[in-house]
Structure formats: structure tokens, C-alpha cells
Structure 1
Amino acid sequence: MNRSPVLVAYALVMVALIVTVDVLFFRDHAWARLMVNVGIVLVFGAFYVRFSRSA
């Protein structure tokens, strides 16, 4: 099965979430914004690793 469309959708959801959180909550807080963005990427990465092996 070709996973390319699923990976693109997964990445787009991650980017949309990061941009939304940045704009709504952390517009003027650079370090907090960086930490939250890294956290979001790590959580998405953990979910990808966890659920990509079972597929």
C-alpha cells in the first residue's frame, strides 16, 4: 500500500496544529513557542512510530 498520501495528510495536520497554537496562544513568547512546537513534533513522532509499525 502506498503511504504517501497518508504521510502528507499527517504532516499537514501537524503543521496546521503548530501554526494554530502559535497564532492563538504564543504570538509574543518566542521560547515558550519553540518548546511547545518541539513538544508537538515529538508527540506526532511518537504516534507515528507507535502506529506505523502495526499497519
Structure 2
Amino acid sequence: MSNKILDLFLKNVEMNNEHLRKFYNNIEITMSFDVDTTENYNKEISEELLETV
């Protein structure tokens, strides 16, 4: 009986680890996207400012 409980517990831990890994991967993807978007936005603003001068 205790082996079955331990197996279930370990399976649960593995599933939680997998969910956390996916969660952090999504955060990294989102952050890198935000950085790219912000850099592009800043570049566009800079170009517009140069055109107005």
C-alpha cells in the first residue's frame, strides 16, 4: 500500500514539474517577445522623430 501511495506522490511531483517547466517557458517566450516589440517600437519612434526634424 505505501508503495502505491509513494508512486502516486512521485507521479504528482513529476506532473507538477512539467507544468512549472511549461509555465516558465511561456514566461521566457513572452518576455523575449516583449523585448523585441519594445525595441521595434523605440526604433519606429526614433525614425519618426528624425523625419520631423
- Name the larger-Rg structure: 2
Greater relative contact order (Cα < 8 A, sep 6+): 1
TM-score by length of 1: 0.47
Higher helix proportion:
2
TM-score by length of 2: 0.48
